[in-house]
Amino acid sequence: MPMAAMNSASLQSNQSNSNVISQLATSVSLRCVECAALYPGVGDRPRYRCDCGGVLDVEAAFHHPMQQEPSLQAGFEALMASESDVKALAGAQWRQLFDERAPLPPLWPVNVDTRLPDSSGVWRYRELILPVPEQYIVSRPEGNTSLYPVGRANCGNHRAGHRQIGHYAGLDRFFLKHEGENPTGSFKDRGMTVGVTMANLLGARAVACASTGNTSASLASYAAQLGLPCIVFLPAAHVAGGKLAQSLAYGAITIQIEGDFDDAMRLVEQVCNELGIFLLNSLNPFRIEGQKAIGFEVLQQLDWQAPDWLVLPAGNLGNTSAIGKAFRQAYQLGLIAHLPRVAAIQATGANPFYRAFVSGFSHRERVQAQTIATAIKIGDPVSYTRARQVIEESNGVVEEVTDEEILAAKTVIDRSGIGCEPASAATLAGARKLVERGIIKRDERVVGILTGNLLKDSQTGIPQPKQGNAIAASIEAVKRAIANEISL
């Protein structure tokens, strides 16, 4: 669609979805994280910020399917109530609901998509994500990613390679959740299935995002599935090859801008507001709701025994906010008995959140970002306030790691056979540092998040094949080639 055709009336509701939309407007609300102002969940135009400029957070009442349908009055009360006011159902009932759905194989039904939501590692938790009728859901499906036991003590037999990770971190009971196993190779698919479902429901004419590469790959894929025009803004020359290839291959209008991610982020917000395009960065609060599913799935995989720590890389801080919010809600609903502590890890050259943390969050910092981990090369994170709340309420920490530490940790993860992209390795580098500093105890149960697939970036921190190094196709040449590698 030519850009000129996208006017400010970006949403086109019709008879069939207008009822759903008006229900959503009352059952879901948006609260400003800065001034606590409240807005309806959906309006005539999408709203990404409060009038004060603060970002918005979704608030919704949770209804277990065994409960009665919420009346209109209850919906209205939900609009006025904060999460903690919402009457929680016993945690056991919620656990049973999600556990019954979990064993379903991720199969596509032959003619209808009815079981698809149960197979998705996001929509399985739909009552805690977004109350939307199933026919609007756009899913591949996503989630159901592995939780690898990699600690010195919890790593099973025939996993000597994986155990090296536990040795490196100095942890006995350590798990790595590999979000690079999502359909487009990163955790972004969890937020994107919800974001693009909202775009579908609201009748958006086009979608857009700024990205360091993974958000754009994910959006391009989900938009293509729906048949929706998609524009992605990337900082030129700062996006790993695999990610750029994905967005081009999925057919997104791929615009590389002069500047960094923070410039691209400012631009896309302006573009979306002026041209009426649906914004799908994590500034869109529904993306955060989808990413909460990482937290729920970790808890379910651990049989609802909350870990002591959750460690993850931090850039724009959407994921820190989302997983922390999931833990908060799981705790409030009685799904788990205690809140895990959250450790957000930044690269030293892109560490505004770390700087704020060491100052006791006395002021917000912005930096000119510089790191080899391009995914987290972000100097002015959008979700600062949301993430700060997570660190404070979970008694969490923010740590920084150098590029050298990231690369060393990446080599350990790659050599274990699991593999990840550079930003993800900040998790292991950070966990190791926090153990060395005595902040994480060696016998605590720790979950680390690997956010992206190894193939996203096939250059950074990976030995490159030497040109002209081919050998003759003979047994003698093979013997010479491996002589220094293995003794046979």
Return the number of the residue (78 or 244) whose C-beta is nearest ligand F0G: 244
| Distance between CA atoms of residues 488 and 481, nearest Å | 13
Three-state SS at 235: strand
Which residues 312-341 are close enough to bind ligand F0G by CB under 6 A?
A: 313-320
| Residue from 119, 164, 351, 424 in contact with ligand F0G (CB under 6 A) | 424
Using CB under 6 A as the binding rule, whether residue 294 contacts ligand F0G is answered as no
The DSSP secondary structure of 206-272, one letter per residue, reads: -EEEE-SSHHHHHHHHHHHHHT--EEEEEETT-S-HHHHHHHHHTT-EEEEESS-HHHHHHHHHHHH
433-472: contacts with ligand F0G (CB under 6 A)? 451-452
Q: In residues, how long is the chain?
A: 488
What is the closest distance, in whole angstroms, from the C-beta atom of residue 83 to ligand F0G in the complex? Answer: 21
Full DSSP string of 20-50: HHHHHHHHEEEEETTT--EEESS-SS---B-
Binding segment for ligand F0G (CB under 6 A), chosen from 4-12, 17-25, 206-214, 355-363, is: 206-214
Q: Phi then psi for 252, rounded to 5 degrees? A: -75, 150
- When the beta carbons of 79 and 326 are compared against ligand F0G, the nearer one is 326
Q: From the CB of 376, what's the least distance to ligand F0G, in Å?
A: 5
Beta carbon of residue 119, minimum distance to ligand F0G (angstroms, whole number): 24
Peptide bond before residue 103 is cis, with ω within 30 degrees of 0? no
The nearer residue to ligand F0G, 200 or 316, going by C-beta atoms, is 316
User: Is 186 one of the binding residues for ligand F0G (CB under 6 A)?
Assistant: yes
* Region label for 418, one of left (φ > 0), alpha (ψ between -120 and 50) or beta (otherwise): alpha
* Least distance to ligand F0G, CB of residue 355, Å: 15
Which of 200, 211, 284, 389 binds ligand F0G (CB under 6 A)? It is: 211
Piece of the chain touching ligand F0G by CB under 6 A; list 142-150, 157-165, 271-279, 420-428: 420-428
Q: Which among 214, 202, 286 is positioned nearest to 250, based on CA atoms?
A: 214
CA dihedral sign of residues 137, 139, 144, 146? negative
Q: Which stretch binds ligand F0G (CB under 6 A): 205-213, 332-340, 358-366, 394-402?
A: 205-213
Q: Which stretch binds ligand F0G (CB under 6 A): 19-27, 65-73, 119-127, 212-220?
A: 212-220
CB of 396 to ligand F0G, least distance (A): 14
225 φ/ψ angles, rounded to the nearest 5 degrees: -60, -40
Cβ proximity of 291 and 318 under 8 Å: yes
User: For ligand F0G, which is the closer residue by CB, 166 or 180?
Assistant: 180
Lateral strand order in the sheet of 253-257: 253-257, 230-235, 207-210, 278-279
141 binds ligand F0G (CB under 6 A): no
CA-to-CA distance for 189 and 221, rounded, in angstroms? Answer: 9
Output 197 or 320, the one with its CB closest to ligand F0G. Answer: 320
Residue in the block written with tokens 């999600």? 98
284 binds ligand F0G (CB under 6 A): no
Is residue 376 near ligand F0G by the rule CB under 6 A?
yes
Q: Which two tokens stand for residue 313?
A: 């890389």
Question: Cβ distance 325 to 390 under 8 Å?
Answer: yes
What is the footprint of ligand F0G within residues 213-232 (CB under 6 A)? 213-215
Tell me the window of 38-46, 135-143, 195-203, 308-316 that interacts with ligand F0G (CB under 6 A): 308-316
CA distance between the termini of the chain = 63
Number of shown-chain residues binding ligand F0G (CB under 6 A): 22
Of the candidate spans 28-36, 127-135, 299-307, 421-429, the one that interacts with ligand F0G by CB under 6 A turns out to be: 421-429
CA–CA dist 180, 173 (Å, integer): 21
**In the β-sheet with 173-178, what is the strand arrangement from edge to edge?**
147-149, 173-178, 445-450, 309-313, 341-347, 397-401
Can you tell me which residue has the tokens 């994986």? 162
Give residues 34-63 in contact with ligand F0G (rule: CB under 6 A).
none
Joined together, the tokens standing for residue 84 give: 């903690």
Near ligand F0G by CB under 6 A: residue from 375, 409, 418, 431: 375
Using CB under 6 A, pick the residue from 278, 421, 447, 457 that binds ligand F0G: 421
For position 290 contacting ligand F0G by CB under 6 A, the verdict is no
CA quadruple 92, 93, 98, 101: dihedral sign: positive
Where does this chain bind ligand F0G (CB under 6 A)? 186, 188, 211-215, 313-320, 375-376, 421, 423-424, 451-452
